[in-house]
Amino acid sequence: MADQEIEEAVSRALEEAPPRNFRETVDLAVNLRDLDLNDPSNRVDESVVLPEGTGQETSIVVFAEGETAVRAEEVADSVLDADELADLGDDDNEAKDLAAATDFFLAEESMMQDIGRYLGTVLGPRGKMPDPISPDDDVVELIERLKNSVQLRSGDRRTFHTRVGAEDMSAEEIADNIDVIIRRLEANLEKGPLNIDGVYVKTTMGPAVEVV
């Protein structure tokens, strides 16, 4: 599949989208086939860094203390310490609100066990358990990387969606993002391209245009 084909599909999706009074996202829908998605090992579940960024604000929360917390505060949306983690564990509604409002979580390795204890039942089913931060990791670099990332997650459904940009990005930029996602899927799915039944691009309220 040529990059030009992807770009032409994106251009059509942008052109055919009716005018709205808000900034629409551009989303990708992927249909899978010939996979037993009841088996968790066959499900798609990974984050992908988009070369042109997501075109949207990405919310990142970090569980950390000490120097890591100080550095994370420069770039994360929120940094929570051990006491605040324990408080969240006592307030199920607040924990669910935080999970809904946050795209990605990071946590120092030393806090992962407590996060599992306090928030595992909230974050686990949503696929939002934190990525661990080791003592050698540059937390600022990790956060900046996640700000340009999206999560591909199929669960047990044959069709899944992910954002690939915003309507004010160029068709070429959005096509570059889509190309990276399709290449990742083709590389990681059991039968590669044969496990992809179709890929469609659309703005939030616009019609879907087939990419492949």
Q: pLDDT for 136-159, tens place per residue?
A: 999 999 999 999 999 999 999 999
Instruction: Kindly list the domain boundaries of the chain, sorted by start residue.
Output: 3-55+148-210, 60-146
Domains 3-55+148-210 and 60-146 share a fold: no
Q: What's the whole-number average pLDDT of the chain? A: 94
CATH architecture for the domain at 60-146: 3-Layer(aba) Sandwich (3.40)
C-alpha closest to that of 198 among 187, 184, 208: 208
User: In 3-state terms, what secondary structure has residue 159?
Assistant: strand
pLDDT in tens, 2-59: 479 999 999 999 999 888 888 889 999 999 999 999 999 999 998 999 999 999 889 9
Residue range 173-187: average pLDDT?
Answer: 96
Query: Which CATH number applies to 3-55+148-210: 1.10.1740.10, 3.40.50.2020, 3.30.190.20, 3.30.413.10?
Result: 3.30.190.20
Nearest Cα to 99, choosing from 64, 127, 65? 127
Quick one: 185 exposed, middle or buried, by C-beta within 10 A (0-12, 13-18, 19+)? buried
Q: What is the pTM of this model?
A: 0.83
d(CA 76, CA 196): 35
